[in-house]
Structure 1
């Protein structure tokens, strides 16, 4: 099992409901932008495109609910009841980022217990395959939106990755 960095203090603070709503709207806008740039992500989900997928970043204050077909992510306070969902993926932020950016194999993270899935596991498998195929780089996606600040954002992400241990830039395993 890989040693994971501790989450930043900001991730461990509770958020008021208005902040959770604003974060959900921001994530939805980001998801729509990525889906527009990489439509194969949604088509790769096939029959699971309308599934409700719970994303529980255990060391964060929010639980996310994603519905790919509507390109919508809602954020829910951790202290409330879990929203209804078809499948869930749970883990710490470091494990999610490592899988998403390709620095660690998603299957290895599941088998080691760093990421857990529940509900309809075929939904999560389809999502993981779609994300793997898309070869997402969240820093690069944000940089594309940052205009003249993109160069600074890329440098900051590289520095933050080195200092925090979080996988913030896309890496290939092989």
Structure 2
């Protein structure tokens, strides 16, 4: 696990290409996958405690939009919005997109990134810590997030790890460590 993130900003062209895409289809998919995951793993909401029903904004520095995450059983929602539309979030997590993904797959250490300011948290830090601790304990993989098991889940985990590593290489900053996704590790 790396303690610092190399400059992993996506090329500006990617942000330019993503900006005009319709947000609604992605919102529907992310919301559906989130709700299904929480239905399969209700202990995740129990572990979150006070964070349930608290909107948290995930803001990739190098993308045109933010993700507003609200968790509440079958009312969970992922909203894709402009970065200036996250005012109702109680906590905000900011970092380059690939750093955020690297946090999910275990490539980067969140504590170290926080202290080097590669990862920035605003607002109610305790909500972000509860979310991070829940995700770490859950040991989620991309396959599980998408509701897969067995061989399809293994394929999705391997594919996701490969895709993340290729994206890192595209930015010119390949990780010195093998992604834990390739090894079936946590997301």
- Taking structure 1 as the reference length, what is the TM-score of the superposition? 0.80
Q: Tell whether the 8 Å contact from 1:109 to 1:115 is kept in structure 2 after alignment.
A: yes
Aligned partner (choices 69, 72, 76) of residue 71 of structure 1: 76
Distance, in Å, in 2 between the alignment partners of 1:22 and 1:14 is: 13
Q: Shift of residue 153 of structure 1? A: 4.3
Distance, in Å, in 2 between the alignment partners of 1:155 and 1:121 is: 32
Distance, in Å, in 2 between the alignment partners of 1:127 and 1:140 is: 17
Gaps of 5+ in 1: none
Aligned to 1:120: 124
Superposed counterparts of 1:16-55, under 5 Å: 16=20, 19-55=22-58
Instruction: State whether structure 2 residue 110 is matched by structure 1 residue 100.
Output: no
Gaps of 5+ in 2: 169-174
Q: Shift of residue 87 of structure 1? A: 0.7
Higher-RCO chain (CA-CA 8 Å, sequence separation at least 6): 2
Superposed counterparts of 1:8-23, under 5 Å: 9-16=13-20, 19-23=22-26
> What is the count of residue pairs matched by the alignment?
169
- Taking structure 2 as the reference length, what is the TM-score of the superposition? 0.75
